[in-house]
Amino acid sequence: NAGVTQTPKFQVLKTGQSMTLQCAQDMNHNSMYWYRQDPGMGLRLIYYSASEGTTDKGEVPNGYNVSRLNKREFSLRLESAAPSQTSVYFCASSEWNEETQYFGPGTRLLVL
């Protein structure tokens, strides 16, 4: 039981490049989330998926897109990376929304 897994662990991009962050969970959870963590700002919700087949914007969605590929997988895409997107990205899942969230190990992204 791996819990929540994320790939890659670390990535360096140049401004304007695109990339997709992958997230998968094996706990049969319905809800999944993408956060970014920046110093002094806590965790900010980028997008969430309350259940398979649905996605919604969180607090800071600009510059990102998501895909809930199936119940297990929820990917985050940066179409044209900007230095302001340098951050640590965490994926999380919960059985349903409002419940305890289980976090992945994070992806550290540096945009030059």
Q: What is the DSSP letter of 78?
A: E
Contact between 85 and other proteins by CB under 8 A: the answer reads no
Contact between 42 and other proteins by CB under 8 A: the answer reads yes
Contact 49, 58 (CB under 8 A): no
Contact between 71 and other proteins by CB under 8 A: the answer reads no
- When the beta carbons of 72 and 108 are compared against other proteins, the nearer one is 108
Task: Compute, in degrees rounded to 10, the torsion defined by CA atoms 34, 65, 112, 85.
Answer: -50
Residues that bind other proteins (CB under 8 A): 33, 35, 40-45, 48, 50, 56, 90, 92, 97-106
